[in-house]
Amino acid sequence: MLYVVAWPVLAEADDVALRRLRAQYHPTQADMIGPHFTLVFGVPLEHEVALRAALEAVERRPFWFMIDRIVRNDLHLFAEPSDGAAELTELYETLNSVPGTIPFQPHITLGLFSHAAEAEQVARIVGRQHLPIRGRIAELALLRLEGERVDTLATRRLAA
C-alpha cells in the first residue's frame, strides 16, 4: 500500500515526547514510522505513478502548525492541530483525486487502546503535560508499506 505523509519539524523536546507517547501507546506503528500527518491513506501500488506526479505538482510554501488538543476517537488517541489544519487539509485535497469516505481531520496518531476509558484518561494527561506543540511542515514523502517495512519512494520539499 502507498501513503503520503507530511513530516513535522519539531523542537527536540516535542519530538521526543511524541515518539515516547507513540512507543508507549502505539508500539506496532512507532517502530515503523515516527510522528507524521498522513495525507494519503493506503492506496494500491498501481497508483504510484499518479501519486508521484501529484506530489511533484504540489506548490506550497513550508508552513507552521500548532497542536493544541488531544482527542479520543473511539479507541484511538490523536494530536490535532488548529493552526496549520487548513493547509494540511488543502494538501490532502490536492493529493487525493477521490475524497475518502471519512471526512479528513489532520492528526498525528498517538495511540490505540483496548478500552475507550483508558484512551480518555491518557488524552487528559497528555493534554496537560505536553500541549501546545508547535512545528513546521517543510517536506512530504511518498511511502510504500509492505508488511512491517516502510520504504520512502519519493520526497517533495515545500518551496521556500
Give the CATH number, domain containing residue 18: 3.90.1140.10
160 pLDDT more than 90 = no
Q: How many domains does the chain have?
A: 1
10-69 pLDDT, tens digit each? 999 999 999 999 999 999 888 899 999 999 999 999 999 999 999 999 999 999 999 999
Ramachandran class of 67: left when φ > 0, alpha when ψ lies in -120 to 50, beta otherwise: beta
* Integer Cα distance of 35 and 88 in angstroms: 15
Total-model pTM: 0.94
- 130 pLDDT band, cuts 50/70/90, is confident
Which residues form the domain of 150?
2-157
Alpha-carbon separation of residue 111 from 42, 55, 60, 136 (angstroms): 19, 28, 30, 22
